[in-house]
Structure 1
Amino acid sequence: MSAMALYTPWRMDYITGAIDNKESGCFMCRAVNSNDELVVYRGNYCIVIMNKYPYNRGHLLIAPKRHVPGIVDLTDEELMECAMLIKASTCALSELLKPVDFNIGVNVGRIAGAGYEEHVHFHIVPRWNGDVNSIPVKYTLDAVINDIKELIPELSKLMRRCMSNDGGGPEVHTNKG
């Protein structure tokens, strides 16, 4: 079997380290303090941001609004809202994109693998059968044409519903087999 390459321009600047120098400072703080088009949801203490350099379609970041480096620096309110947003994110992504499972995690510190270690954030990465960072292992490829920004309006609406107290969000499914 021969090797196959897939062009992924949305990750190239990130992979090569050639991210626009105009974007110095904390991208999460910029998102908190502006009308950033990648913000999916704004809570009282935290925000949900569509990852500009996603591992997979629908990759979200959840971050406190305060600029803090680690989980131990979060207040109880911030930590609770992060947990609620993780739940709501999986709820909304389940309905919109129908992934089989999720990778959910946080890297605290450079040695632990944090790409941006100064502002703690959680990753929610939808996963499908056969994907390897969105590249199926077989010769056939699922073409995903939509830009990540096209997902945001519907995802925002679903996040609001999933965060509401009426329990109107869909049940999060996982692969049982």
Structure 2
Amino acid sequence: MAEPVVRLHQLLIQRHEPELVVGRADRVWEENADTVAGKIYGPHFEELARQWCFEHAEPESLGGRPSWVRPTEIACREHRRGHELDLVVAQSPAFGTDRIIAIGEAKGTLTPVGLPQLERLEHLRGLLPSARVGALLKLLLFARSGFTDDLRREAERRGDVELVDLHRMYRGT
């Protein structure tokens, strides 16, 4: 718990101490809500999503039982840089190499997750080494603030997309 407190101090309190001292906390908080969401809530939410995959998700949600879940960065020639991936879910068979069964993105932002995040995951799926990818790679989207209607409709018509909101994360399926 100390790490988020230290981050809050560095991001908000230390930088805005004079304003806080004179009673402008409401304004400081309002102007920095996105920073707090991205730098404090975001990393914590990503870790909760990884824990959910490993400890609570049903095999149908992930395309199998996970052996490990971790973040990674994937190189991309098209964009000439690496892309961060919040979740890579893999199975480790007794005899053989690890097989990636799902990849995912966790957004702890105040805005709902939409189709652009799904399109990004589809792009990243194309960058994975095909020899290590399972037959039906699941695309997982986690959202603190829910999902747009167009993304919900798209996910309903597909078998490879799982949407996980706070209610589902805390229900455990």
TM over 0.5: no
- Larger strand proportion, structure 1 or 2? 2
The structure having more radius of gyration, on CA atoms, is 2
TM-score by length of 2: 0.32
Higher share in helix? 2
**Normalization by structure 1: what TM-score?**
0.31
